[in-house]
């Protein structure tokens, strides 16, 4: 899902697995990791890190993070070089580096936001309007959108499908909730005609139609990488 905070700054995105679409369409809400239970599948590669750093979609109203929460590694002299973590890195080590970064008291530009309850700096509430310039600090100028769970889907939201096959699966659920828009994403390096799910698409579509159990699909393991 995407949202825009001005006419001159980039969009913010919130990604959810296709298996969550059925509950999203029926209730019109996105659920955080703490509320997922067994209803849908949390992302294998980032759920542990998000929870350890304090991100379980429990931020007041709407918040933005100008870091890639799952993989960004801040540079801290004598502790860690800046860059990206290897997938599967121990979340405790990641949290340790973020705490070390916070201890250096970086200014908001270097921190890309302000410190609060999460262990990663964010922009929240009243901080957004006065700090739009910081949005350009996000990777590819695309901040991560953080929402309180359960988050009501708003009429101005756009739900983007990564492939034409994903779009068809979502269209089978009927119109998106609360007047949101559903469309095909145009992402550099991604082929919209490609379907990485392959034969697993049948199980997914059956689940979305209420005719089968939730398929155990590891979306992170099979997603196509940008060319």
pLDDT tens digits for range 83-133: 999 888 899 999 999 999 999 999 999 999 999 888 899 988 788 878 888
Tell me the pairing of strands 144-147 and 62-65: antiparallel
- Give the SS3 label for residue 183: strand
* b/e 160-181 (16+ beta carbons within 10 angstroms → b): bbbbebbbebbeebeebbeebe
Helices 164-171 & 200-208 angle (0-180, nearest 10): 30
In whole angstroms, give the CA distance from residue 146 to residue 101: 21
pLDDT in the model for residue 224: 57
Which single residue is written with the structure tokens 């034969």?
199
Q: Answer whether residue 24 is part of any domain.
A: yes
Q: Answer whether residue 21 is part of any domain.
A: yes
Structural domain including 150 reads: 2-222
CB 214 within 8 A of CB 19: yes
CB 11 within 8 A of CB 4: yes
Q: Answer whether residue 131 is part of any domain.
A: yes
Q: Answer whether residue 161 is part of any domain.
A: yes
pLDDT in the model for residue 6: 54
Q: State the chain's mean pLDDT as an integer.
A: 80
Domain count, the chain: 1
Q: Answer whether residue 121 is part of any domain.
A: yes
pLDDT in the model for residue 222: 72
pLDDT in the model for residue 125: 79
Q: Answer whether residue 227 is part of any domain.
A: no
Highest mean pLDDT among 37-41, 105-109, 131-135, 155-159: 105-109
Residue 49, phi then psi, degrees to nearest 5: -65, -45
| pLDDT over threshold 60, residue 44 | no
CB 55 within 8 A of CB 120: yes
By CB atoms closer than 10 A (0-12, 13-18, 19+), residue 112 is buried
Residue 4, phi then psi, degrees to nearest 5: -120, 140
Q: Name which of 23, 26, 21, 27 is nearest 1 in CA terms.
A: 21
| pLDDT over threshold 60, residue 75 | yes
Q: Answer whether residue 84 is part of any domain.
A: yes
Rounded mean pLDDT, 6-13: 58
Q: How confident is the model at residue 202 (pLDDT cuts 50, 70, 90)?
A: very high
In whole angstroms, give the CA distance from residue 167 to residue 169: 5
Q: Answer whether residue 14 is part of any domain.
A: yes
Which single residue is written with the structure tokens 């980039």?
10
By CB atoms closer than 10 A (0-12, 13-18, 19+), residue 47 is middle
Q: Name which of 68, 60, 85 is nearest 120 in CA terms.
A: 68
């Amino acid at each position: 899902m995407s949202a825009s905070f001005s006419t001159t700054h980039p969009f913010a995105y919130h990604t959810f697995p296709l298996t969550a679409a059925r509950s999203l369409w029926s209730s019109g809400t996105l659920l955080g990791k703490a509320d997922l239970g067994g209803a849908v599948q949390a992302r294998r590669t980032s759920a542990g890190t998000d929870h350890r750093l304090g991100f379980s979609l429990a931020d007041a109203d709407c918040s933005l993070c100008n870091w890639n929460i799952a993989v960004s590694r801040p540079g801290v002299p004598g502790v860690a070089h800046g860059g990206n973590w290897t997938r599967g890195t121990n979340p405790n080590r990641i949290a340790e580096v973020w705490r070390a970064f916070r201890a250096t008291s970086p200014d908001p530009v270097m921190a890309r936001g302000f410190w609060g309850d999460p262990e990663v700096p964010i922009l929240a509430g009243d901080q957004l309007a006065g700090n739009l310039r910081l949005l350009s600090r996000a990777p590819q100028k695309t901040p991560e959108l953080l929402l309180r769970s359960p988050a009501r889907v708003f009429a101005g939201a756009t739900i983007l499908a990564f492939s034409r096959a994903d779009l068809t699966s979502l269209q089978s659920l009927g119109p998106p909730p609360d007047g949101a828009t559903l469309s095909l994403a145009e992402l550099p390096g991604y082929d919209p005609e490609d379907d990485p799910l392959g034969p697993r698409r049948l199980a997914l579509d059956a689940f979305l139609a209420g005719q089968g159990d939730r398929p155990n699909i590891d979306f992170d393991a099979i997603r196509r990488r940008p060319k």
